């Protein structure tokens, strides 16, 4: 659909419509006799001066455009609202939904950088309010029906991308194209999620089109082909090294360029140019000499920021994000770029409605006849929640208003049992699980479920009349067989856990911690019980199963995990295999000391991951290392030999985590920071070690 950018005169009218001082001529003024052309010219000049002065002090906001003027239904993408008379108190709304104050950045009087809230697919008005005066850009923004992740990749193609929809109807016959070129379908996980591999294409932004029968959805500029160091996503690319490595160093959180950062090849930070250099004002640096070939190891370090090492890679372009360090010497004077600064608050939404049971009462609540009668010391109860964004990050607690009993206040005139919960601002679903609870032990047995789909919660919104029909029996079960566990070392890990999640595509996932199963070994199958059939309101759902192999009651380090997703029926047998081996650190040992050569060494029993991600932290230190999955050691160059850089303090206890992960379509030399999100991992393992230097 073609979208129009409305003209300035219309916007100015909207911006001034609430101004009580605005002059509107009446009929008498229009009928007044003409003024003699020879009247006092000085009076005319005074009127002109007064009008100019009045116009100069006009503080009404004006909105003229949004760049880009579209984005995914999930919100969260960065856009710039353009206009005039903006200030730090500007309040922005998309389709009437508030933008989080903490997601609104005042750039200058003509620009506001914001992260839109989730919204309904289609056109949305964009408004800016300042001190009670509001400017509106009608249909200034379009919410797309698709979300592409990652939204950029290599020119050579082959990048595995996730396409998520809201209210879409993906099938195995769905066709996806990027700028008219086919994106090879890898798998379809449901009507609202699929994965495909990008074709090769020249540099630039391209549209994506998804066709499912008569349904055709096109999103312009949905994907960017790039191998340049200017990538704002971070990572590696550009092809094999042939004499040059281009490095861009940015501040995490803000994306600001970091000038003056030291960049060097190898393990000696004092090495002379051309094997070392400093970034310019744009955060860019190039290491260049004729014999430079990959693979190489590069370290970047900046005053008041962490250090970052990328091991044995072969890519011409490197973009890295550094985090500011909260150390005393950096607290004096001006804060470093990217040091952050408090936002103006983050707000959730409030959702209220009713749980509806079928029965003879047409205008009053019906009894919970599909839940067994409680015995002594038990009660029938339902718990209301919202979906979480993925299997990793829990939704906020719904509050006490999410606990519903089979009781309503006398005189209540509703159709069901009321609830009121708090929710994250997002496109989500509201669900409830009802069953019998032991009032002494809080042991809960689930029997029924209800789901309300397509709820759009924006910051500070009060969403009412959400109806949740409690008509989904929890009478199915999934058998889970664990195969190929990595070997334990010195008795660790020592226990297993299997968890189930109901994936609703663009609306997030329903976690089921109430049916998770724990065991000491994998000799017997695991059973995830009390699952629903994927019919009715959740006919498009898919099951995701995660197996955790961890240490101690809380499944701490060392641990490994594997994830199976896209399961179309809860009656299937799921086999969890493809585990990643757990690293066994040999130097330094836990609570020991780092070797004088500053090298960490480890071995591995089991399969290698695609990549190792190492994080070293202390009271005044943070250091990241990326390494390919075949690596079994990595070092920390001694940057203390360069004045102003923050090195590992002697005698201080340091905490190191080594995480290995596997993700479909991974290519270390085309690494993207996006892949550091567990959302993309199919298997991972980790170990932590405490030591001193």
Render pLDDT for 240-275 as a digit per residue (tens, 0 to 9).
Answer: 999 989 899 999 878 889 999 999 999 999 999 999
Q: Which of 555, 576, 597 is the last residue of a domain?
A: 576
Q: Is residue 565 part of a domain?
A: yes
* Beta bridge partners of residue 221, listed in sequence order: none
Coil/strand/helix, residue 116: coil
Whether the CB-CB separation of 413 and 314 falls below 8 Å is answered with no
The answer to the question of residue 279 being in a domain is no
435 and 532 co-located in one domain = no
With 0-12 / 13-18 / 19 or more C-beta atoms within 10 angstroms meaning exposed / middle / buried, residue 91 is middle
Strand partners, 151: none
Task: State whether 514 and 565 are in the same domain.
Answer: yes
CA distance 312 to 299: 11
Q: Which residue has the tokens 């208003």?
A: 401
CATH label of the domain that carries residue 217: 2.60.40.10
Cβ-contact 71, 58 below 8 angstroms:
no
User: Can you give the residue range of the structural domain that contains 159?
Assistant: 146-225
Same domain, 461 and 512: no
CA–CA gap between residue 502 and residue 464 (Å, rounded):
25
441 and 537 belong to one structural domain: no
How would DSSP label each residue in 55-107?
HHT----EEEEEESSEEETT----EEEEEES--TT-EEEETTEEPPGGGEEEE
Report the CATH number at residue 448.
2.60.40
Within a domain: residue 449?
yes
Does an H or E element contain 47, and which?
helix 41-56
- Collapsing DSSP to helix, strand or coil, 395 comes out as coil
At 543, is the secondary structure helix, strand, or coil? strand
Continuous segment of H or E residues that includes residue 41: helix 41-56
Give 395's Cβ-side CA count (13 Å radius): 31
Q: Which of 250, 217, 254, 253 is nearest to 235 (CA)?
A: 250
Question: Does residue 508 share a domain with residue 541?
Answer: yes
In a domain, residue 665? The reply is: no
- Reduced to 3 states (helix: H, G, I; strand: E, B; else coil), residue 18 is coil
Cα dihedral sign, 677-503-463-423: negative
For residue 586, the SS3 value is strand
Select from 191, 207, 225 the last residue of a domain: 225
Using one digit for the tens of pLDDT, what is the confidence trace for 202-241?
989 999 999 999 999 999 999 998 765 445 578 998 889 9
Domain count, the chain: 3
Neighbours of 514 (CB within 10 A): 16
- Label residue 232 left, alpha or beta by phi (over 0 means left) and psi (-120 to 50 means alpha): alpha
* Same structural domain, 363 and 466: yes
Query: Same domain for 380 and 422?
Result: yes
Can you tell me the distance from the alpha carbon of 391 to that of 396, in angstroms, rounded to the nearest whole number? Answer: 14
Below-50 pLDDT ranges, the chain: 1-43, 46-48, 51-52, 55, 229-230, 338-342
Same domain, 524 and 547: yes
Strand ranges in 484-523 using DSSP code E only, listed in sequence order = 495-503, 509-511, 517-519
**539 and 500 share a domain?**
yes
Which of 441, 473, 505 lies at the terminal end of a domain, its last residue?
473
Under 8 Å CB-to-CB from 399, ≥6 apart: which residues? 420, 421, 422
**Contact, 293 vs 239, CB < 8 A?**
no
What are the φ/ψ torsions at residue 494 (nearest 5 degrees)? -130, 10
Cβ count within 10 A of residue 392: 12
In a domain, 251, yes or no: no
* Greatest Cα-to-Cα distance within the chain, rounded to the nearest angstrom: 106
pTM: 0.82
Over the range 350-368, which residues count as b (16 or more CB within 10 Å of their CB) and which as e? bbbbbbbbeeeeeeebbeb
Give the span between the Cα atoms of 657 and 335, in whole angstroms. 28
ω before 647 within 30° of 0 (cis)? Answer: no
Question: Would residue 175 count as lying in a domain?
Answer: yes
Are 554 and 508 in the same domain? yes
In a domain, 453, yes or no: yes
Residue 220 within a domain: yes
Q: Which of 301, 258, 262 is nearest to 281 (CA)?
A: 258
Same domain, 202 and 216: yes
For the CA atoms of 596, 600, 605, 611, what is the dihedral angle to 10 degrees? -160
The distance in angstroms from the start CA to the end CA of the chain is 61
Same domain for 165 and 178: yes
């Amino acid at each position: 659909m073609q979208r129009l950018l409305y003209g300035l005169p219309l916007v100015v009218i909207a911006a001034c419509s609430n101004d009580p001082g605005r002059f509107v001529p009446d009929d008498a003024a229009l009928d007044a006799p003409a003024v003699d052309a020879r009247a006092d010219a000085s009076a005319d000049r005074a009127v002109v001066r007064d009008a100019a002065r009045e116009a100069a002090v006009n503080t009404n906001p004006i909105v003229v455009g949004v760049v880009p003027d579209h984005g995914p239904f999930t919100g969260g993408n960065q856009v710039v609202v353009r206009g005039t008379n903006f200030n730090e108190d500007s309040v922005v709304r998309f389709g009437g939904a508030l933008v989080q104050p903490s997601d609104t950045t005042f750039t200058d009087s003509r620009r506001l950088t914001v992260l839109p809230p989730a919204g309904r697919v289609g056109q949305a008005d964009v408004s800016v309010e300042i001190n009670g005066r509001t400017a509106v850009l009608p249909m200034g923004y379009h919410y797309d029906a698709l979300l592409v992740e990652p939204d950029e990749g290599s020119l050579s193609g082959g990048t595995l991308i996730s396409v998520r929809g809201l209210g879409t109807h993906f099938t195995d016959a769905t066709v996806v194209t990027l700028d008219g070129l086919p994106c090879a379908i890898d798998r379809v996980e449901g009507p609202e999620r699929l994965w495909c591999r990008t074709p090769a294409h020249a540099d630039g932004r391209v549209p994506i089109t998804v066709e499912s029968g008569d349904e055709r959805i096109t999103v312009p500029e949905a994907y960017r082909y790039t191998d340049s160091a200017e990538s704002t996503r971070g990572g590696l690319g550009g092809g094999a090294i042939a004499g040059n490595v281009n490095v861009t160093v940015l501040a995490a959180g803000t994306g600001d360029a970091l000038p003056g950062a030291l960049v060097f090849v190898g393990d000696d930070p004092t090495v002379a140019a051309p094997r070392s250099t400093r970034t310019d004002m744009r955060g860019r640096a190039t290491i260049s000499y004729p014999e430079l070939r990959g693979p190489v190891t590069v370290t970047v370090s900046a005053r008041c920021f962490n250090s970052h090492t990328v091991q044995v890679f072969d890519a011409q372009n490197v973009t890295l994000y550094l985090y500011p360090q909260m150390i005393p010497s950096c607290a004096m004077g001006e804060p470093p770029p990217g040091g952050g600064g408090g936002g103006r608050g983050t707000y959730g939404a409030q959702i209220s409605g009713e749980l509806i049971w079928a029965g003879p009462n047409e205008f009053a609540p019906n009894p919970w006849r599909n839940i067994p009668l409680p015995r002594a010391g038990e009660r029938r109860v339902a718990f209301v929640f919202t979906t979480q964004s993925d299997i990793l990050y829990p939704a906020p607690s719904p509050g006490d208003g999410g606990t519903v009993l089979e009781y309503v206040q006398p005189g209540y005139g509703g159709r069901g049992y009321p609830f009121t919960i708090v929710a994250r601002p997002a496109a989500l679903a509201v669900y409830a699980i009802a069953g019998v609870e032991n009032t002494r032990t809080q042991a809960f047995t689930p029997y029924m479920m209800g789901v309300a789909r397509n709820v759009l919660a924006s910051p500070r919104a009060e969403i009412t009349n959400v109806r949740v029909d409690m008509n989904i029996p929890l009478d199915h079960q999934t058998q889970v067989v664990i195969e190929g566990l990595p070997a334990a070392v010195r008795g660790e890990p020592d226990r297993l856990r299997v968890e189930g999640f109901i994936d609703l595509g663009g609306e997030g996932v329903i976690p089921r911690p109430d049916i998770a199963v724990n065991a000491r070994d994998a000799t017997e199958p695991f059973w995830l019980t009390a699952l629903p059939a994927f019919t009715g309101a959740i006919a498009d759902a898919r099951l995701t199963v995660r197996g955790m192999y961890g240490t101690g009651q809380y499944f701490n380090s060392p641990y490994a995990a594997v994830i199976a997703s896209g399961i179309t029926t809860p009656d299937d047998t799921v086999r969890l295999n493809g585990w990643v081996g757990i690293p066994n650190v040999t130097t330094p040992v836990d609570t020991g000391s780092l070797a004088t050569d500053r090298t960490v060494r480890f071995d591995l029993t089991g399969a290698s991951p695609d990549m190792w991600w190492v994080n070293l932290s202390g009271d005044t230190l943070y250091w990241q290392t990326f390494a390919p999955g075949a690596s079994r050691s990595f070092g920390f160059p001694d940057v203390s030999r360069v004045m102003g850089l923050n090195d590992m303090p002697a005698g201080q206890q340091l905490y190191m985590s080594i995480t290995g992960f596997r993700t479909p379509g991974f290519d270390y030399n085309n690494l993207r920071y996006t892949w550091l999100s567990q959302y993309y991992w199919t298997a991972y393992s980790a170990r932590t070690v405490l030591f001193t230097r």
